[in-house]
A = this chain, B = another copy of it.
């Protein structure tokens, strides 16, 4: 095993960042845009409302015609037509004229106010007005809600239902979003079988395949789970080649220690190049990273918590970058619930559960499935530190 040229986590992240992958953009219909990442700033192509719009049912008037109106001095205007929502009004109001208008309808030429029908009386072809209307009464002016050209949404936004509704409001039927990076996921190990299969003595069910595939989906990527490679060169090579064909990124798990690690490394060397031979962190020392046909291949540790920790540290930032997000981790600051001991000379990551403002270390072995299930993320214990004290502020890196 080539552990001689182990590099730091920061160096590994620089290597990954230098890989020739970039965020790709595609146009999709707004009906499929929920949850996708916007690839451009979106400006409104129109005014909302697009025209001066009645906000009540009533009578469109020239407000100056009503300024002398009073309870004891009602004003009579001739009603020359009716405008309903959706109509294109062909009416122009001249002095002394009005038109019946419904909520949402466009004001006719000449009108600058709408008096609601409850406040007037109607007599035949005339409407009787008892109070003056001011310009703008009962009217929402064109563009007051959203002026044309206003930036509505920023590049990188993960679209919520409010965002898609806003896009719909300004008439946008297609939006540019970042294409979902396709990630091939491969589990390895002679003892590993898929759920649904009966376990023979000595076998265990696959965990990492499902964990990584669904973590990729939660990040906004597309996962293609290719199944389990046996511990032989042909089986592993065939799946890696399929991954390189169908996807942008390939993730293997369980292939990071012992025999499988060597196999993976040698297959990558045959098909491309191993770029990282190991990382000076625990867990994660045997993690290997290669590049085949311009596509990264990650060989992550087999223990679920170790696998997920390394996925979070190394792969998640890349998936974020391919989705137009920052090339980084998601972190929160918490206080340590109790003292933890570490090994000096090792840069260690310990799983923690978040409880309110506390980070509670989970002190099971990395082999335990439950440690990652109970954990929300992990904290770093730097190389030169042996003890983190209770209540010390810690940065929790959240899984995924």
Asked if A140 contacts B207 (CB within 8 A), the reply is no
- Point out the residues of chain B lying under 8 angstroms from A257, CB to CB: 103
- Point out the residues of chain B lying under 8 angstroms from A201, CB to CB: 50-51, 88, 106
Residue A96 CB within 8 A of the other chain = no
Q: When each residue 102-127 of chain A gets 1 if its CB lies under 8 Å from chain B and 0 otherwise, what string results?
A: 11111000000000000000000000
Asked if B85 contacts A304 (CB within 8 A), the reply is no
Asked if B204 contacts A166 (CB within 8 A), the reply is no
Q: With CB as the reference atom, state the residue of chain B lying closest to A50.
A: B199
Residue A6 CB within 8 A of the other chain = no
**Chain A interface helix/strand/loop/mixed:** loop
Residue A48 CB within 8 A of the other chain = yes
Could you tell me which residues of chain A, from 63 to 110, have a CB within 8 Å of some CB in chain B? 84-89, 102-106
Residue A389 CB within 8 A of the other chain = no
Kindly state the separation between the CA atoms of A214 and B174 in the bound complex, as whole angstroms: 15
Residue A57 CB within 8 A of the other chain = yes
Of A263-271, A273-281, A328-336, A363-371, the one contacting chain B is A363-371
Q: Which of B106, B146, B213, B365 contacts A370 (CB 8 A)?
A: B146
Could you tell me which residues of chain A, from 204 to 221, have a CB within 8 Å of some CB in chain B? 204-211, 213-215, 217-218
Could you tell me which residues of chain A, from 348 to 393, have a CB within 8 Å of some CB in chain B? 365, 367-370, 372-373
Q: Which of B195, B215, B231 contacts A30 (CB 8 A)?
A: B195
Kindly state the separation between the CA atoms of A257 and B116 in the bound complex, as whole angstroms: 15
Asked if A202 contacts B365 (CB within 8 A), the reply is no
Kindly state the separation between the CA atoms of A162 and B89 in the bound complex, as whole angstroms: 59
- Point out the residues of chain B lying under 8 angstroms from A14, CB to CB: none
Asked if A169 contacts B202 (CB within 8 A), the reply is no
- Point out the residues of chain B lying under 8 angstroms from A164, CB to CB: 210-211, 214
Could you tell me which residues of chain A, from 168 to 223, have a CB within 8 Å of some CB in chain B? 168-174, 189-192, 194-197, 199-211, 213-215, 217-218
Asked if A161 contacts B195 (CB within 8 A), the reply is no
Q: With CB as the reference atom, state the residue of chain B lying closest to A225.
A: B31
Residue A345 CB within 8 A of the other chain = no
Residue A165 CB within 8 A of the other chain = yes
Q: When each residue 11-41 of chain A gets 1 if its CB lies under 8 Å from chain B and 0 otherwise, what string results?
A: 0000000000000000000110010000000
Kindly state the separation between the CA atoms of A34 and B215 in the bound complex, as whole angstroms: 9
Kindly state the separation between the CA atoms of A171 and B102 in the bound complex, as whole angstroms: 62
Asked if B160 contacts A218 (CB within 8 A), the reply is yes
Asked if B372 contacts A103 (CB within 8 A), the reply is no
Asked if A86 contacts B210 (CB within 8 A), the reply is no
Residue A399 CB within 8 A of the other chain = yes
Asked if A210 contacts B168 (CB within 8 A), the reply is yes
Kindly state the separation between the CA atoms of A202 and B49 in the bound complex, as whole angstroms: 9
- Point out the residues of chain B lying under 8 angstroms from A207, CB to CB: 165-166, 168-169
Say how far A282's CB is from chain B's closest CB, in angstroms. Answer: 15
- Point out the residues of chain B lying under 8 angstroms from A50, CB to CB: 199, 201, 203-204
Residue A46 CB within 8 A of the other chain = yes
Q: Which of B57, B87, B173 contacts A194 (CB 8 A)?
A: B173
Given contacts A87-B202, A146-B370, A169-B205, 14 further A-B contacts (CB under 8 A): A46-B199, A86-B191, A86-B192, A106-B201, A140-B365, A140-B367, A145-B368, A161-B400, A162-B399, A165-B304, A167-B210, A168-B207, A168-B209, A169-B207
10 smallest CB-CB distances across A and B, nearest first, come from: A173-B196, A86-B190, A161-B214, A86-B191, A165-B211, A168-B210, A85-B191, A173-B195, A106-B202, A161-B215
